[in-house]
Structure 1
């Protein structure tokens, strides 16, 4: 089934217009994908202003490299890979993201069932944003983008052991954040219950 796109009948026509460097095609692509791609960049950059800058650079790269898209896969997926690459380039420039840990620093095997089924995506993304840059980068590449440790090591210029170490640390930190969130939620529920019971007693009910 063909998808209808404003100004263009199909995605193929949109891509053809991009290759002709038509301004309206640039606008359509930006409006269609900006929300999703900002979310991708924010997972890596954490700071929204930095993420927005990276996203804009990413779209510029999309428009420059459109001839390299072979149309044998998802156009959105191709854009996403460019956004991830741009995010990693930004992190490399910061010179603070490579928080490498020796394997013997990981003294506790994390519980991989750390995510409560009731935890929504917004809460999870907020917790991921709290991770140190190195942990967050490896976690995103492994758990969300589906990279192997070998691919992460090659992409980031680190060892596979470091990749595994940072992933373990990231998962342990997330597990801790989830537990804190659960305790906070139960605490708030107890406060509401106590307040309700006190109110009922005050009212003589």
Structure 2
């Protein structure tokens, strides 16, 4: 069943189609939620709340662009809402901008990490860095969109992204060296 047929069946209230939609996207969307939320339970909560919103908002999907992208945007927004409920979103982490916390060694192409290792490295980032990095690098938001979404300036978004990249780069080097 393609996305259009699946959506149509869900709109008719077909429980099998609803289950199929959930099963089709749940794994990927849980990964999206986990990138923002440290605790598995919080990510699962965001996932369930996000799917509730997906099913409620399904009549508004205009079939313009990717259905997966539409679902992803709902999940990102839900993860951000859960993040705000769980952890205050402070985007000024000057203590992490110290030279010893920034990358000193350029990353190399041969750094091979498993997805769970990358997720662990992302989870180690301060919440502000992690959130901006995820929105920009993984979700494709612009700095303007990030600024509007998080209530910060574009400059703060750019600064947080730069610091996140530097910290990730340093930790990748350290992680690879430890192997």
TM-score with structure 1 setting the length: 0.77
Separation in 2 of the partners of 1:111 and 1:141? 25
Out of 109, 113, 119, the position equivalent to 1:120 is 113
> Which structure has the larger Rg over C-alpha atoms?
1
SS at match of 2:89: coil
Partner in structure 1 of residue 73 of structure 2? 81
Partner in structure 1 of residue 86 of structure 2? 94
Query: Which runs of 5 or more structure 2 residues have no equivalent in the other structure?
Result: none
TM-superposed CA distance for 1:137, in Å, is: 0.4
Indicate if the aligned counterparts of 1:101 and 1:165 stay in contact, CA closer than 8 A. no
Give the structure, 1 or 2, with the largest relative contact order (CA under 8 Å, sep 6 or more).
2
Indicate if the aligned counterparts of 1:153 and 1:163 stay in contact, CA closer than 8 A. yes
Out of 36, 44, 47, the position equivalent to 1:52 is 44
Indicate if the aligned counterparts of 1:101 and 1:162 stay in contact, CA closer than 8 A. no
TM-superposed CA distance for 1:111, in Å, is: 7.1
Aligned residues: 175
Q: Segments of 4+ in structure 1 off by > 4 A?
A: 105-113
1:28-57 deviation digits (Å, cap 9, x = unpaired): 011111110000000011211100110011
RMSD over aligned Cα atoms: 2.2
Indicate if the aligned counterparts of 2:103 and 2:167 stay in contact, CA closer than 8 A. no
